[in-house]
Structure 1
Amino acid sequence: MIIMKFGGTSVQDAAAINNAIEIIRGRISRRPVVVVSAMARVTDSLLEIATAVSARDYEKASSIIRLLRDRHRSTTAELIPADESHRRLRGSVEQKLDVLFNELETIALAAATLGELTNRTQDAIVSMGERLSSVIVAGALQAKSINAEMVDSRAFVVTDNHFTAAVPRMKETELKAREVLQPLIDSHVTPVAQGFIGATIDGFTTTIGRGGSDYSAAIIGASLGAEAIEIWTDVDGLMTADPRVAPDARRIKIISFGEAAELSYFGAKVLHPSTVLPAVEKGIPVYIFNTHNPASGGTTIVAEPQPSRNLIKSIAFKRGVTIVNITSTRMLLAHGFLRTIFDVFDRYETSVDVVTTSEVSVSITLDNAERIEPIKRDLEGIGQVAVEKHKAIVCVVGNDLKFTPGLAGRVFGAVSGSNVNMISQGASEINLSFVIDESDVEQAVRLLHKEFFSELDPAVFA
């Protein structure tokens, strides 16, 4: 049994869905569980609806809902013919879509009337994208004579109540996923589930963050003990760098879970950062494939790194980084000082990326500076605080970097024209990260790519 997750561009219209169906048909003997994202750009439209109702603008919200209804109905009409043999199926799919859109209108009207948008209400709105697309994909599979059934992920993906960024409760999810999905799989039915969404124990709809459909696929795969998890997207796999920045970037054929996790966390957008975690725990390989180019070999993510003649597997970067510098002579010979600093970030639920320390100072990077002002105010009770914005983290990833003599010399020699604010290597054997001005990041990536990928190991790169 395998998990096949299709992203937004892979289900964006009738042509894309038909393409995905043929890919599913080619793997039907492996008993796939299909996980879908919302159709491309639908989540953005749903967030616009949420913004409109919070401003009491129901008219705008209603107009967006009408456009979404028309788009989903026209896609259904293209996928499921109106002839006698398909009439009942098409009517059933259209009725299910109408029920969902009526529910969306009811939620939007209630929120606009109150002029208040809670995180719980936002999740109820934003979750509609996956709920709608799964109805269409399941119906389209049936129209192509594939025995498929839409299942509601909220019936088995159990999360906490941290709405808009919920965390799955794996033990409960594993039990419920087997209870709901395994009978279908055993009956040779292809379940079509929604990524991105779940529900609390009390039954309230939750979402697990943007990009969370990949994570959903991994959670379901881990719960069912899948033999493989396939992520179908619009690129050929993980690359040696972002090809929009480094035009000579090449596809990585095989990479370890640890390396892939570092890349996704530090800016590689192909994979959600949390995706590999459930797979790592169960030793399930993850494959990244291109729906629009299924013949490409994609990228295989495995437990152990593949030996490579290339020192570096890939270069990632993250823009929009803020540095917070805290200086205090009270740090000298004091214990518990770092805990006091991190308690401030914990208080404001703000995660940090890179941390460096000296005898009297600590430098920390944030990729979410939304709460920087209260954080700065609290930190000023500890020491002097300086905030630097418009920075970027550059990350080079490869196996055993920590134990490779001369690596730092090559990296910083390549980017000698950029002012480096922070450096971090010791915490990870597979990652060397540094912080530079955001304006320098693209040139730095191109120079690093030239330094480390002038020749490629054909066993690892394509």
Structure 2
Amino acid sequence: MKSRNLRLLKTYMLGLLTRLEQLLTAIAMMKELTPRSRDYLVSFGECMSTRIFTAYLNKIGIKARQYDAFDMGIITTDDFTNADILEATYPAVAKRLYEDWIKEPAIPIVTGFLGKGWKLGAITTLGRGGSDLTATTIGKALGLREIQVWKDVDGVLTCDPNIHPAAKPVPHLTFEEAAELAYFGAQVLHPQSMKPASESDIPVRVKNSYNPQAPGTIITKERDLSKAVLTSIVLKSNITMLDIVSTRMLGQHGFLAKVFSIFNDLRISVDSVATSEVSVSVTLDPKKLPCDDLIREESELDHLVEELEKIAVVNLLQKRSIISLIGNVERSSLILEKAFSVLRNNGVNVQMISQGASKVNISLVVDDSKAKQCVQALHSAFFENEESHFPSR
């Protein structure tokens, strides 16, 4: 039986490699790689690696069964390279896995970050964090007690260890905190990947593949924040800031609506916003501008400024960073008092401050050249000096 399974695996892998060669030849001849072709191209690695891993588990006596996500029931929109999972996925995945388990129990080994577009029936990918999204989708479909995602760090950390080696694991987070951390630059999780678990109130535990004994970080819908001050510090570098001031009189009706309609028309999203009656400051990530390549980033920014200057005076400030303080914003006055004291002592000028509607995030904009120094100083003040911690209420 084992030799027969290995022969079947070899035959299938050779078939996959043949199809891959044909696809690459077609791309080379056409000198064009469409989003649809790209999604099909990147699916080969998952399809091959999951089959090899499944064969290995079966060889050592652990019963396993391989699944291609796009054939297992993960149904998505047809937005190639960044598809969304549709509700029809959950009953379809549950039905397939439960039926197979009843027939013959085996550990499911599923391809990550892949799905099938519901209209075209083509292979799609789920964008950044797609493998974690696959895991939380399956967890929601099956109604599991806990979902685990395995990384190369001991959970979510108090800051990026590449910026400050004293970063330490955060034992407990809410989904809201995790989403803010991810959106503003933390690389461990992607906010979209947590959505199925959050909707189903299933805890997610982040573990370290290289240190399985570490408890990791548990993410739940709620946690006790009564003694919490700061959870983590996140840095998002190389962002652009725009100061937009109305050219009309005070109280101009509809100014903000006009500003944001321009962003909407150009399909540009902003990270942080600070507003008054006749002015608004926003930050945006140039890498997320809707352009075909990096060369066009500058022209896209120029176009944005040109449109905004029809209704306002615009000041474009590049090479800025957002430092996001994630924590208990009910104690925002204490957090800001300490943060501004630290930044003042380090000679850093804060150019914009924004508190998100989530109420777990305070964002500060500073020059790129000072940003890492700021994170190191803030981390030392909030997490390393015991005498500096605020007393609990």
Q: Does 1:430 align with 2:347?
A: no
TM-score (norm 2): 0.88
Could you tell me which of 161, 164, 169 is aligned with 2:81? 164
The residue that corresponds to 1:68 in the other structure is: none
Tell me the distance in 2 between the aligned counterparts of 1:204 and 1:332: 53
Letter of the structure 1 residue corresponding to residue 305 of structure 2: K
Tell me the distance in 1 between the aligned counterparts of 2:218 and 2:356: 27
Q: How does 1:60-99 map to 2 (within 5 A)?
A: 86-99=2-15
Q: How does 1:82-121 map to 2 (within 5 A)?
A: 86-121=2-37
Q: Does 1:450 align with 2:380?
A: yes
Q: How does 1:251-270 map to 2 (within 5 A)?
A: 251-270=169-188
1:319–1:331 distance in 2 versus 1, CA, 3 Å: farther
1:183–1:332 distance in 2 versus 1, CA, 3 Å: farther
Tell me the distance in 1 between the aligned counterparts of 2:244 and 2:70: 44
1:220–1:348 distance in 2 versus 1, CA, 3 Å: farther
Q: Does 1:151 align with 2:80?
A: no
Q: Does 1:175 align with 2:91?
A: yes
Tell me the distance in 2 between the aligned counterparts of 1:413 and 1:108: 57
The residue that corresponds to 2:391 in the other structure is: none
Structure 1 unaligned regions, length at least 5: 1-84, 457-462
Tell me the distance in 1 between the aligned counterparts of 2:335 and 2:381: 11
The residue that corresponds to 1:317 in the other structure is: 235
Tell me the distance in 1 between the aligned counterparts of 2:184 and 2:339: 17
Tell me the distance in 1 between the aligned counterparts of 2:253 and 2:11: 64
Q: How does 1:17-416 map to 2 (within 5 A)?
A: 86-155=2-71, 156-169=73-86, 171-186=87-102, 187-201=104-118, 202-307=120-225, 309-330=227-248, 332-367=250-285, 368-369=288-289, 370=297, 371-399=300-328, 401-416=329-344
The residue that corresponds to 1:35 in the other structure is: none
1:423–1:304 distance in 2 versus 1, CA, 3 Å: same
Is the CA contact (8 Å cut-off) linking 1:420 and 1:435 kept in structure 2?
Answer: yes
Spell out, residue by residue over 1:61-103, the C-alpha distance to the aligned partner (whole angstroms, 9 max, x if none). xxxxxxxxxxxxxxxxxxxxxxxx7433333323222222222
Tell me the distance in 2 between the aligned counterparts of 1:133 and 1:336: 55
Structure 2 unaligned regions, length at least 5: 290-296, 387-393
1:146 match: secondary structure: coil
Is the CA contact (8 Å cut-off) linking 1:211 and 1:272 kept in structure 2?
Answer: yes
Tell me the distance in 2 between the aligned counterparts of 1:402 and 1:388: 31
Tell me the distance in 2 between the aligned counterparts of 1:209 and 1:232: 18
Tell me the distance in 2 between the aligned counterparts of 1:339 and 1:129: 46
1:274 match: secondary structure: helix
Is the CA contact (8 Å cut-off) linking 1:402 and 1:425 kept in structure 2?
Answer: no
Identity of aligned residues (%): 39
Spell out, residue by residue over 1:315-345, the C-alpha distance to the aligned partner (whole angstroms, 9 max, x if none). 1111121112222233732343323222222
Tell me the distance in 2 between the aligned counterparts of 1:159 and 1:423: 37
Q: CA RMSD in A?
A: 1.9
Alpha-carbon offset, residue 310 of structure 1: 4.2
Letter of the structure 2 residue corresponding to residue 450 of structure 1: S
Alpha-carbon offset, residue 206 of structure 1: 0.9
Tell me the distance in 1 between the aligned counterparts of 2:356 and 2:207: 33
Name the count of aligned residue pairs.
370
Is the CA contact (8 Å cut-off) linking 1:254 and 1:306 kept in structure 2?
Answer: no
Is the CA contact (8 Å cut-off) linking 2:129 and 2:192 kept in structure 1?
Answer: no
Alpha-carbon offset, residue 449 of structure 1: 0.7
2:333 match: secondary structure: coil
Alpha-carbon offset, residue 308 of structure 1: 6.0
Is the CA contact (8 Å cut-off) linking 2:239 and 2:283 kept in structure 1?
Answer: yes
